[in-house]
Structure 1
Amino acid sequence: MRDPFFDNAKFVLIVMVVIGHNWYPLIGDSRALKAAYMVVYSFHMPAFILLSGYFSRNFEGRPDQIRKLVKSTLVPYLVFEFVYLIVMAKADGGPLRFTVTLPSYMLWFLVALFFWRLTTPVWRAFSRPVLVAVLISLAAGLTYVSDDFAFTRILQFLPWFVAGLQLRREHFQWLRRKAVRGWAAAVAVLAVPVAYMLVPGADVHWLDMRQSADGLGVGAVEYVLVRLGLFVVSAILVATVLSLVPARRLWLTSLGALTMYPFLLHGMLVKLGEVLGVHDAAAAAGPLAIVGLTACAVCVAVLLTTPPVRWLTRWAVEPRMPRPPRLLVRPSSGG
């Protein structure tokens, strides 16, 4: 039986993804919005990756598991990579150049999930796997790593996946304690005001894990210290959000099993909005328009889980793959 808590958490996080992509074109126009964006980007992908690791604990690399992994990650990646290249070329007015090695928009996560899950058995060989993953993540930011297949993000976000592999149900139950939820509520209230104070000197590119120390214009020592600080901040915010997610069955619970639809589809609507000038209009109209845009983003996340949308797009989001042929072995005759 599915646990309502995890489905609620997954849907809350995918809503944050949709909201964040709609906020990004506006963060240069509003200090408050940039602060909110920084808070969201400090926890939403780490939390998503953490849960992905948690649900990968039983992955052993069996043929049936590999087949399911290819079906759920690589096949949708190839389909939507082609779609998003067309959409983004039209939206940005650039040339159409098809390549499977440079993931478009949010599609890097599918490639990353494929890689992370394949490495699951490897992490069982380490006594301190999270520490090893953190060292790999920091090293990736201090050296040159190719952008092919979003390898920079794969390595820099790796600790969250490995941390998820170490979690057990009792860890999430601990977050449900009354005292923990009280502290979480206090952190939630203070997060945006604190971020607001930090906005003038903040570079949001620290949060998307695409840049090395050179790309961020900092030295090795500063890079390591900031990244370690961000690990701590993100861990606190991830725990805060998961602590405050309702554990009972709600109207959104059933949508938590369908998050791949809004994840893969919402980017096309975001790009369409940019082409139509929706975000520019919201920035010009002021705070109420931005609130309205945020509400529309939530509605889009819900809309993209509805039966008509799933019926139209299931072939790409949840593709069917032919079953592998069975090897017929004739029983040997006795005698």
Structure 2
Amino acid sequence: MSTATSTAHRPTSVPSCEPPDTRDAYFDNAKYLAILLVAVGHIWEPLREGDRGLLALYFFVYAFHMPAFIVVSGYFSRSFDASPGRVQRLVTGFVVPYVVFETAYALFTRWSDDDPQRPVTLLDPTYVTWFLAALFVWRLTAPLWRALRWPLPVALGVAALAGVSPSIGEDLDLQRVLQFLPCFVLGLCLRPEHFRLVRRRLVRVLSVPVASAGLVLAYWAVPRIDQGWLYRSSAAQQLGMAWWAGPVMTLLLFGVSLALVVCFLAWVPDRRTWFTALGAGTLYGYLLHGFFMKFLAHTGLYDLLRPHGRLGLLAVTLLGAVVVTALCTAPVRRLFRPVVEPRVEWVFRKQDGGVPQGR
């Protein structure tokens, strides 16, 4: 991997806020490719039932696309210290967009899901907004994880306990927050040299058979394992399993996810490409693509595509890729910046010099 400047690794609360000259092309490429997989996974959902091959691809992608995104998010949270300025950026980067998009998705879902009575609540994240709530919690606790001697084993223990605790409930999608926590803590523990290690030629070569084995494993798992495990949103008992399956699956899923994340990162280009600049807009692509996916599911497009088999699948895959790519572009970011990256300095107290804290 090409050596980045020291400022390239400066953590920020919103990925797209970094000035262009401080960004690392490798991480922008990784974020764009990860969000591309998120969108493709979502657009596959209405076509997956009864198609073992597509379900295997779905299992395979879901095993690592969010873990990869979360690991990178944890890596860029390493310097969060709960200072007033960083807390302000945390609020403006995650809390305010969460309120805006959770309200918007709840209202939109009333139409897309034919559920006019759906309540608007900030405690039950809708569709993609759970990730903003999770990032807020994870980053707020980052100083605690950095202070621990063995943060990753402790995080795995927390995730395992969550996996056997159906009483946690759905508030802020806390099951997902806790079960994905080890991926975030892993990112906190990583250093630039770890990413250079992943980019070695030997790792690239080994990643091919490892990823191939992962795809075969996914095909084997389709009829045997409930896909609910992939979402990390339920305890073992809620999936009809014995309590001890929770810790076992926590460790197995983390191991599989880690192996596939390494394979993914090994093949991410470390040079500037045509999509590198789009890495600055992945938060936009993530938050906005859900509206398109819900709208698409409400139309008759999937019914038209099903009879065409793999050709229809290819068409819908390309559609998802094009849409999320467009949503990461500069014009879209300029249009939606007031709601994705709002400026609400007036909410915060000013420093002695009259400048809002954290600016």
State the TM-score bracket (shorter-chain normalisation).
over 0.9
Give 2:108's match in structure 1, choosing from 63, 75, 87: 87
**Where does the alignment leave 5 or more consecutive residues of structure 1 unmatched?**
330-335
Partner residue, 2:243:
220
**2-structure distance, mates of 1:93, 1:217:** 29
Give 1:287's match in structure 2, choosing from 310, 321, 337: 310
CA shift, 1:198, in A, is 2.3
Larger Rg: 1
**2-structure distance, mates of 1:202, 1:279:** 26
1:121-171, Cα deviation, whole Å (9 max, x unpaired): 111221111000000000011112121011111111111111111000000
CA shift, 1:24, in A, is 1.5
Matched, 1:326 2:347: no
Describe how 1:19-58 pairs up with structure 2 within 5 A: 19-58=40-79
Matched, 1:113 2:119: no
| 1:185–1:244 Cα contact (<8 Å) kept | no
Describe how 1:53-92 pairs up with structure 2 within 5 A: 53-92=74-113
RMSD: 1.4
Matched, 1:167 2:222: no
Task: Please tell me the residue identity of whatever aligns with 1:137.
Answer: A
Task: Please tell me the residue identity of whatever aligns with 1:115.
Answer: V
CA shift, 1:47, in A, is 0.9
CA shift, 1:197, in A, is 2.5
Matched, 1:128 2:145: no
Q: Secondary structure at the match of 2:123?
A: coil
Aligned residues: 329
CA shift, 1:26, in A, is 1.6
Partner residue, 1:96:
118
CA shift, 1:201, in A, is 1.2
Task: Please tell me the residue identity of whatever aligns with 1:173.
Answer: R
Task: Please tell me the residue identity of whatever aligns with 1:103.
Answer: P
TM-score, normalising length: structure 2: 0.89
Partner residue, 1:250:
273
Task: Please tell me the residue identity of whatever aligns with 1:289.
Answer: G
Compared with structure 1, are the counterparts of its residues 180 and 275 closer, same or farther at alpha carbon in structure 2 (3 Å cutoff)? same
Describe how 1:232-243 pairs up with structure 2 within 5 A: 232-243=255-266
**Where does the alignment leave 5 or more consecutive residues of structure 2 unmatched?**
1-21, 354-359
Partner residue, 1:332:
none
Matched, 1:140 2:159: no
Task: Please tell me the residue identity of whatever aligns with 1:175.
Answer: V
CA shift, 1:82, in A, is 1.1
CA shift, 1:3, in A, is 1.2
**2-structure distance, mates of 1:245, 1:111:** 27
1:277-331, Cα deviation, whole Å (9 max, x unpaired): 22333223311111110011110111112333223211111111124443558xx
1:88-139, Cα deviation, whole Å (9 max, x unpaired): 1101111231111101001000000000000011112211110000000000
**1-structure distance, mates of 2:59, 2:138:** 25
Q: Secondary structure at the match of 1:260?
A: helix
1:63-92, Cα deviation, whole Å (9 max, x unpaired): 010000111101111111111111111011
**2-structure distance, mates of 1:328, 1:153:** 41
| 1:261–1:305 Cα contact (<8 Å) kept | yes
